[in-house]
Amino acid sequence: MSDALAYARDHASRFRDELFEFLRIPSVSARSEHDGDTRAAAEWLAARMAAAGLESEVLDTPGHPVVLGEWRGAGDDAPTVLIYGHYDVQPPEPLELWTSPPFEPTVRDGRIYARGSADDKGQLHMHVKALESWLASTGSLPVNVVMVAEGEEEIGSPSLVPFVEARAERLACDAVVISDSAMFDEGLPSLLFSLRGLAYVEVHVRAAKGDLHSGAYGGAVANPATVLARMIATLHDDQGRIAVPGFYDRVKEWDAETRDAIRALPFDEERFRSGVGAPGLTGEAGYSTLERLWIRPTCEINGLLSGYTGEGAKTVLPAEAMAKISFRLVPDQDPKRVARLLEDHLRSVAPPSVTLEVRELHGGNPWRADPGGPLFEAAGRALEAAFGAEPVLVGEGGSIPIVGDFERILEAPALLVGFALPGCNMHAPDEWFTLDNYDRGIGALVRLYEELGTTLR
């Protein structure tokens, strides 16, 4: 292993140069005008996997391609690790809020600023470099590896479940390792015990067949903006709980042990508040901030559109109003069921003066780990050696839709070990990832493969 670690140290500056090449490709999965770039990122990645010593291919799906890499030289007796990540990124807009352009990686104060630096190209690339470090320095790896990098994670992974189901045998593994999350704090490595799921819907409220004069018609014809606002106002009660009937039916209460562990984390509420820049925090009554973020479900309005929003005043009665509404889910909630409950609820509160259209956009299952046990202990040793601190167990409010599906289809546990830092602006302008975590994280992954080679056997 010391050879692999030495190789990673000796080649650190080339690794970074390569990462910068990867980050320059605008692989925005949500935008069809970037389809060529998204494919280019897949091809770039497949070539880097091949250079690292894996057999790699770019496999077509109905959407963006999946890059598959394999190295099976450890033999049938050795464990197999599936490494998952995503090479697609979120749209970079609003561009004017970036200090340096999103697809021109720039280093300031030890941070790489670029779209995808943290989520997830930077972290995915670390795995490729850790594998290369083993293979180039020793000609071998402590585990067999199959790497799956998708290009649709940021749009809900629509093609990946069928992809995994169709190749369950080829993807068979003893554990799934994913680096697409964050550490609890700088210098404090972290392992995830949960991810929230997601149900995302778009709602249209319509009244008249076109926009109308608000004086000539207002008062007698429904205003879809007002109606939609009233409907949205029914989604929460005054305790911050979700008021959609049936919503909590399948929510499992978390055990006292996990809640105690969350309380024991060194969380600085005031630092969190000032970091987001809001005058105060809020949420469901009876739960702490970390509990609200990790172990409780939420309902958010992600977008709202109606009427005239340009300069000055326009007396218009809008014909339509639209909202994008999403729920973050916890075990054992089901995204499809939640979308249906929302539709039923909205239909029950919508007045007969409007029509309602509810479109389900995408969803993902929540995930909860069984922490402790040899897999977490192995990861703990690798992280402690690389970061000089024992890792903490943390939850995550965001979603990685495929994680639960991997566990179900492949019958192997998932290990989520992320290296981004709080405040790293995933999905926002000025996304960043530290050079230090990039370098140290590669070392941690080199060690992790070794630990898994002995632990999973």
Residue 396, contacted partner among ligand BES, Zn ion, none, CB below 5-8 A by kind: ligand BES
Report the nearest approach of ligand BES to the CB of residue 102 (Å). 16
- Number of other residues whose CB lies within 10 A of the CB of residue 367: 25
Report the nearest approach of ligand BES to the CB of residue 115 (Å). 12
Report the nearest approach of ligand BES to the CB of residue 153 (Å). 5
Number of residues that bind Zn ion (CB under 5 A): 3
Return the number of the residue (225 or 403) whose C-beta is nearest ligand BES: 403
Residue 158, contacted partner among Zn ion, ligand BES, none, CB below 5-8 A by kind: none
Crossing angle for the helix pair 121-138 and 2-10, to the nearest 10 degrees: 120
d(CA 381, CA 447): 8
Return the number of the residue (141 or 147) whose C-beta is nearest ligand BES: 147
How far apart are the two ends of the chain, measured CA to CA in Å?
18
Report the nearest approach of ligand BES to the CB of residue 198 (Å). 5
Report the nearest approach of ligand BES to the CB of residue 383 (Å). 17
State phi, psi for 326 to the nearest 5 degrees. -130, 155
Report the nearest approach of Zn ion to the CB of residue 33 (Å). 21
d(CA 85, CA 178): 6
Q: What is the DSSP letter of 112?
A: E
State which residue has the least CB distance to ligand BES.
398
Residues that bind ligand BES (CB under 6 A): 119-120, 153-154, 156, 180-182, 198, 362, 364, 396, 398-401, 426
Return the number of the residue (11 or 368) whose C-beta is nearest ligand BES: 368
Q: Say if strands 355-364 and 197-206 run parallel, antiparallel, or are unpaired.
A: antiparallel
Sheet holding 432-434, edge to edge: 106-108, 111-113, 432-434
d(CA 413, CA 370): 8
Return the number of the residue (218 or 397) whose C-beta is nearest ligand BES: 397
Q: Which of residues 118-147 bind Zn ion (CB under 5 A)?
A: 119-120
Return the number of the residue (180 or 396) whose C-beta is nearest Zn ion: 180
Residue 181, contacted partner among Zn ion, ligand BES, none, CB below 5-8 A by kind: ligand BES
Residue reference for tokens 């929230």? 196
What the block records as the tokens of 79 is 């464990």
Return the number of the residue (121 or 345) whose C-beta is nearest Zn ion: 121
d(CA 239, CA 293): 16
What the block records as the tokens of 341 is 């409950």
d(CA 86, CA 159): 13
d(CA 138, CA 131): 11
Report the nearest approach of ligand BES to the CB of residue 123 (Å). 8
What the block records as the tokens of 361 is 């956009």
SS3 track for 375-413? HHHHHHHHHHHHHCCCCEEECCCCCCCHHHHHHHHHCCC
Return the number of the residue (145 or 182) whose C-beta is nearest ligand BES: 182
Report the nearest approach of ligand BES to the CB of residue 315 (Å). 38
Residue reference for tokens 């008021």? 243
Return the number of the residue (122 or 413) whose C-beta is nearest ligand BES: 122
Residue 37, contacted partner among ligand BES, Zn ion, none, CB below 5-8 A by kind: none
Give alpha helix (H) positions in 278-328: 289-294
Residue 401, contacted partner among ligand BES, Zn ion, none, CB below 5-8 A by kind: ligand BES
Distances (CA, A) of 299 to 195, 234, 321: 16, 11, 19
Question: Does residue 120 have a cis peptide bond before it, meaning omega lies within 30 degrees of 0?
Answer: yes
Report the nearest approach of Zn ion to the CB of residue 400 (Å). 7
Paired with 414 in beta bridges are: 176
Q: Which of residues 164-183 bind Zn ion (CB under 5 A)?
A: 180
Site string for Zn ion, 180-199 (x = CB under 5 A): x-------------------
Return the number of the residue (65 or 453) whose C-beta is nearest ligand BES: 65
Site of interaction with Zn ion (CB under 5 A): 119-120, 180
